[in-house]
Amino acid sequence: MMEFLPLEAKDYPSLKPLFAGANHPHSEYSLSSLILWGRCALATDYAYDGDAVFISETSLADPKERFLLLPIPAGGRFPPAVLKKKALEAGFSEYRFVHDSYISQYGMDEVEKYFKVSDQPGYHDYVYRAKDLASLHGRDLAKKRNLARRFEKDCGLNGWTIETARLSSADGQACVECLDRWRTERSGDWTDVLERERKAILAALGSFDALELRGLMVIIAGVARGFGVASRLSGDTGVLHFEKASDRHKGLYQYLDRECARLLFEGWDWINKEGDMEDPGLARAKESYVPAKRVRSYRLETP
């Protein structure tokens, strides 16, 4: 039986080669993200099975809510029959964040021989061409482009300098202060979800170098007013995990998003912006950038 251990930042170096060869297209399979979010809402653990790794996640609010992710790497070694056998041997009854690439590999009919398959609304990733978001060219992105330009113009008219700086571990305090200002702006509608995200961001800032994260800050008149943090997902894709900016500067979000795409995704063709968690406002915002594709997510439950 697999022995599951807590997933921590110290495990990153040993697990990185396995994740690098996995090529799972869903954002849930970012090793950095799994570590950052561990113990925020879910207890994230891992176990070796030969030369593969299984990841488990257990709700901190309800320990009965627990599931596995697809093994790392999956390759062709884990068809549905084997996947079911491994889950039952490990004491689990379901997998989540099973992407459509896995379903397509074996066919829905084959998967449904062993699992009850259901959709995971809110967890279908939005994926964009990095070059599109870095340039904001074209009619579909004209509004975003104009807002970013307006931000630059307004700062110029007010005599405010704009600096875009790459993040390092030394910038943690500046980002924390920026995050706290962002939180104050939302004091009236602060939620448990935002609080969990804040914990994950603080974890990112504390383990920035160790997890090989990429990030940048937008500094207006000497004060950090926005930042973004990304990590590697696969050979051609990065995930933009966090993107925070003050609402008091119109166009800042669009400017920040453009700069993140331009500077953080060098060497990657695609930007994965994760799902929308069934939040209508978040869904509209992500659709407004015209995703090139979506990565669907499914639950596989043993009968």
pLDDT for the residue numbered 270: 99
Q: Span 125-274: which CATH code?
A: 3.40.630.30
pTM: predicted TM-score of the whole model, two decimal places: 0.95
Q: Per-residue confidence at 187, pLDDT binned at 50, 70, 90?
A: confident
Rounded mean pLDDT, 3-17 = 97
Asked whether the domain spanning 125-274 has the same topology as the one spanning 5-124, the reply is yes
Q: In what order do the strands lie in the sheet with 237-245?
A: 162-166, 214-220, 223-234, 237-245, 270-272, 125-129, 293-295
Could you tell me what percent of the chain has a pLDDT over 70? Answer: 99
Asked whether residue 296 carries a pLDDT value surpassing 90, the answer given is yes
**Rounded to 5 degrees, what angle do the CA atoms 54, 199, 71 make?**
10
Domains of the chain, by residue range, sit at: 5-124, 125-274
pLDDT for the residue numbered 116: 99
Asked whether residue 90 carries a pLDDT value surpassing 70, the answer given is yes
User: Could you tell me what percentage of the chain is helix, strand and coil, using 3-state DSSP and rounding each to the nearest 5?
Assistant: 40, 25, 30
Q: Span 5-124: which CATH code?
A: 3.40.630.30
pLDDT for the residue numbered 145: 98
